[in-house]
């Protein structure tokens, strides 16, 4: 039974990636989790202003407060992934100190205003670090999603990460490899929990019911940055014996212009897609590709939510054998794995599936069965346990 709204404890959520509106194409994993937790908590999200966002709003039963941190004309540090934005345009570093100061003020203000019982801070840096400074003795669960853990490795930032981890009630991560990395930073075994972000199944289920899967249609979903490996996909296309009927690329980012200039006519760049449109893309694709590679700065994927979404839709998966992905994909059982950066291997795997639709179907069915353990509801249950433990 849903608790009386007036009696629910208050959960303060902080994140730097958050949709301006539900389903607007911005990765929605923080919002999906917040909505799942709002049956038990009054959830208040503190996030930076982004294009098209409102300073205060309610999405479902989640209250959202956004803070400005730079003059609107130039404010774009948090429009997408911060690490990638800094790499793409060095002048954005000017926004960083203002971003930290504005976040600190917003979190301090919201603690006074909402009187939260517990906090959920997405990313060790910046939210975890700022929360440690300004939230006092408020119990905190910290989540790392990949870039904050694998990149940002200079000694000072490593020391900051160690301090944030020590002070947290618990730390969640996306993969067993990330759990090992947290251990190297001093996290205790009982403090670390592998809890990937969950999949909102409803739009995918609806799309699978209404759409028809297109034979030979290949899909790539991800931000167009180095670690997602879209350039490996384009290289692989030149090596394929079996030509896909179509290759659809969903996502945006700093490498888009370079990739479009490199791509041939078989590739269609669709940009970012809202949740319903993206679900339709999954349902129409026969093969979904996740050719992740380690970036030059050390950044790499944890476990992409887009991969779990494609699995939920029953796509046949071809993915890189990198930490995180190998936690859910077993080669030849529920997908095919290739070495990261191996365009020849990626081409051969896609050729194999295009030539053997029965294999693609079998792998897609197995992928959907695996993904059933990673729904938003299942992930929400794990977080409820961790938040309750943090409050004790």
295 burial class (0-12, 13-18, 19+ CB within 10 angstroms)?
buried
At residue 60, the pLDDT reads 94
Q: What percent of the chain has pLDDT over 90?
A: 82
Flag whether 276 is in a domain.
yes
Residues of the chain with pLDDT under 70: 1-6
pTM value is 0.88
Same domain, 78 and 120: yes
State the Cα torsion 253-281-17-180 to the nearest 10°.
Answer: -90
- What SS3 class is residue 122? strand
Same domain, 227 and 308: yes
At residue 2, the pLDDT reads 53
Q: What is the domain range of residue 283?
A: 201-373
Same domain, 329 and 239: yes
Flag whether 359 is in a domain.
yes
At residue 247, the pLDDT reads 96
Same domain, 160 and 232: no
Same domain, 330 and 361: yes
At residue 6, the pLDDT reads 65
At residue 343, the pLDDT reads 97
At residue 5, the pLDDT reads 60
Angle subtended at Cα 214 by Cα 210 and Cα 215, rounded to the nearest 5 degrees: 145
State the Cα torsion 111-29-199-171 to the nearest 10°.
Answer: -60
In angstroms, rounded to a whole number, what is the distance separating the alpha carbons of residues 82 and 226? 14
Please give the structure tokens belonging to residue 70: 């730079």
State the Cα torsion 257-263-268-271 to the nearest 10°.
Answer: -20
In angstroms, rounded to a whole number, what is the distance separating the alpha carbons of residues 162 and 365? 41
What is the CB neighbour count within 10 angstroms for residue 1? 4
């Amino acid at each position: 039974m849903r608790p009386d709204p007036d009696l629910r404890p208050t959960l303060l959520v902080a994140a730097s990636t958050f949709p301006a509106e539900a389903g607007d194409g911005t990765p929605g994993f923080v919002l999906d989790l917040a909505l799942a937790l709002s049956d038990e908590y009054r959830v208040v999200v503190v996030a930076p202003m982004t294009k098209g966002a409102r300073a205060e709003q309610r999405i479902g039963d989640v209250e959202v407060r956004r803070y400005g941190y730079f003059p609107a004309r130039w404010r774009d540090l948090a429009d997408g992934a911060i690490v990638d934005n800094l790499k793409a345009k060095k002048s954005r570093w000017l926004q960083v100190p203002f971003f930290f100061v504005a976040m600190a003020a917003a979190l301090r203000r919201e603690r006074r205003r909402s009187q939260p019982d517990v906090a959920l801070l997405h990313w060790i840096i910046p939210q975890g670090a700022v929360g440690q400074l300004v939230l006092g003795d408020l119990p905190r669960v910290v989540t790392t999603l990949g870039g904050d853990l694998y990149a940002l490795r200079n000694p000072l930032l490593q020391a900051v990460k160690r301090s944030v981890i020590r002070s947290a009630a618990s730390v969640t991560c996306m993969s067993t490899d990330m759990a090992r990395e947290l251990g190297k930073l001093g996290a205790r075994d009982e403090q670390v929990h592998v809890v990937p972000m969950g999949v909102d199944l409803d739009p995918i289920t609806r799309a699978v019911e209404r759409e028809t899967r297109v034979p030979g249609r290949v899909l790539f979903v991800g931000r167009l940055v180095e670690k997602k490996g879209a350039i490996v996909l384009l290289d692989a296309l030149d090596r394929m014996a079996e030509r896909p009927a179509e290759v659809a690329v969903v996502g945006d980012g700093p490498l888009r212009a370079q990739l479009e200039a490199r791509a041939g006519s078989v590739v269609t760049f669709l940009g970012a897609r809202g949740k319903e449109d993206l679900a339709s893309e999954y349902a129409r694709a026969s093969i979904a590709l996740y050719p992740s590679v380690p970036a030059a700065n050390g950044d790499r994927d944890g476990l992409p939510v887009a991969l779990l979404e494609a699995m939920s839709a029953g796509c046949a998966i071809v993915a890189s054998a990198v930490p995180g992905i190998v936690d859910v994909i077993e080669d030849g059982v529920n997908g095919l794995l290739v070495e990261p950066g191996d365009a020849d291997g990626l081409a051969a795997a896609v050729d194999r599936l295009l030539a053997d639709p029965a294999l693609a179907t079998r792998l897609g069915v197995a992928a959907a069965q695996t993904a059933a353990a990673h729904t938003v509801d299942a992930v929400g249950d794990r977080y409820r346990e961790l938040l309750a433990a943090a409050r004790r």
